[in-house]
Amino acid sequence: MTHSTHEQHEQAAVIGQRAAEDRTPVTVIGLGPMGAALAEAYLNQGHPTTVWNRTPGKADELVARGARRADSVTGAVTASPLIVVCLKDYPAMYGVLEQAADGALAGRTLVNHSSGTPEQAREAVGWATGRGAEYLDGAIMVPVTAVGHPDAKILYSGPRAVFDTHRTALAAMGGTTYLGAEPELAVLYNTALLGLMYATLNGFLHSAALVGTAGVKAATFAELAVDWFLPSVVNPIIVAGVPDVDRGRYPGDLGNMEMNLTAIDHVLHTSAQQGIDTDHPALLKALAERAVAAGRGGENYMAMAEVFRGRRTGGAGGG
């Protein structure tokens, strides 16, 4: 069974269990587009759901559907053992939760889906445990419309026992992927996956602009590119190449960095000749040149890993 199939089975089992279990009361703090979707998912799954938002009117629709409106942060926090926070950022979370009465958080579990940095996630553990609360950090990797579906990717980090205690209730929001005990893991994965997403989207959009110079519509290009790109090329290269990345050894017998640098140079020059922006391929070329300058011209393309590791491992990047 593949990892993802195994995970899907596990998630299906968790969702299946839900039908037979009592529904944990849940409080959702923060009713922007995402927080409102999380609260709605809890209502849909039959959880007693308490909601609080700085701008109270945003709770009206949820209250009409059966949510209980808390009139204060203390009331919100003390209504449930599980408190899901979905605010703009960590400072907003502290600004709200510090309005709660002393001792209100003690014995409860805080699951924070607000956007932040690894350092902020680590600090939040001390903040929560200092108030007697357990803390999980969560990262929602799907748009609002996917929340509540079992295949919605939601990542968690923090103490395993705390995650296990609440896993069934957390599954109301979507698929539950546990990353590990280090609190910053969810935020770190979130940032890494977003970096991957933006780099990939920029790659597609630059390429669409390139064929667009011949009057090809982006939708026409996508018909070919979508099938070719991830399933036929990028995914197999990643799967075959990640052992090299983890070992730090990059045999170039099937294709090497010099060959790739020539190909990237063609992307750069063709972009210039066709009159489109060249910043994207220029960056690709500059990065590949650094790998070659560091003596990796004969290694395979995955040797770029050493450029990106930079100062951390004394790799090719340096500074």
Of the two residues 149 and 160, which places its CB atom closer to ligand NAP in the complex? 149
Which distant-in-sequence residues (6+ apart) come within 8 Å of 209 by Cβ?
276, 277
Kindly state whether residue 32 participates in binding ligand NAP, applying the rule CB under 6 A.
yes
Kindly state whether residue 252 participates in binding ligand NAP, applying the rule CB under 6 A.
no
Please identify which residue in 25, 75, 95, 159 interacts with ligand NAP, judged by CB under 6 A: 95
Q: Output the residue with the shortest Cβ distance to ligand NAP.
A: 32
Note the maximum CA span of the chain: 67
Of the two residues 30 and 281, which places its CB atom closer to ligand NAP in the complex? 30
Kindly state whether residue 35 participates in binding ligand NAP, applying the rule CB under 6 A.
yes
Kindly state whether residue 174 participates in binding ligand NAP, applying the rule CB under 6 A.
no
Nearest distance, CB of residue 176 and ligand NAP, angstroms: 16
Of the two residues 34 and 291, which places its CB atom closer to ligand NAP in the complex? 34
Instruction: Show the tokens assigned to 259.
Output: 């060959």
Instruction: Show the tokens assigned to 46.
Output: 């039959």
* Interface mask toward ligand NAP for 49-78; x: CB under 6 A: ----xxx--x--------------------
**Near ligand NAP by CB under 6 A, which window of 13-21, 67-75, 136-144, 303-311?**
136-144
**Near ligand NAP by CB under 6 A, which window of 26-34, 100-108, 155-163, 174-182?**
26-34
- Tell me if 316 sits within 8 A of 293, measured CB to CB: yes
Please identify which residue in 30, 148, 174, 315 interacts with ligand NAP, judged by CB under 6 A: 30
Q: How far out from the chain centre does Cα 171 lie?
A: 17
Determine phi and psi for 84, rounding to 5 degrees: -100, 120
Of the two residues 98 and 164, which places its CB atom closer to ligand NAP in the complex? 98
Kindly state whether residue 120 participates in binding ligand NAP, applying the rule CB under 6 A.
no
Kindly state whether residue 261 participates in binding ligand NAP, applying the rule CB under 6 A.
no
**Near ligand NAP by CB under 6 A, which window of 140-148, 160-168, 241-249, 253-261?**
140-148
**Near ligand NAP by CB under 6 A, which window of 92-100, 160-168, 217-225, 304-312?**
92-100
Amino acid at 312: R
Of the two residues 152 and 302, which places its CB atom closer to ligand NAP in the complex? 152
**Near ligand NAP by CB under 6 A, which window of 28-36, 104-112, 241-249, 300-308?**
28-36
Kindly state whether residue 31 participates in binding ligand NAP, applying the rule CB under 6 A.
yes
Query: What's the chain look like in SS3?
Result: CCHHHHHHHHHHHHHHHHHHCCCCCEEEECCCHHHHHHHHHHHHCCCCEEEECCCHHHHHHHHHCCCEECCCHHHHHHCCCEEEECCCEHHHHHHHHCCCCCCCCCCCEEEECCECCHHHHHHHHHHHHCCCCEEEEEEECCCHHHCCCCCCEEEEECCHHHHHHHHHHHCCCCEEEEEECCCCHHHHHHHHHHHHHHHHHHHHHHHHHHHHCCCCCHHHHHHHHHHHHHHHHHHHHHHHHHHHHHHCCCCCCCCCHHHHHHHHHHHHHHHHHCCCCCHHHHHHHHHHHHHHHHHHCCCCHHHHHHHHHHHHCCCCCCC
By the criterion CB under 6 A, which residues form the site for ligand NAP? 30-35, 53-55, 58, 86-88, 92, 95-96, 113-115, 140, 143-144
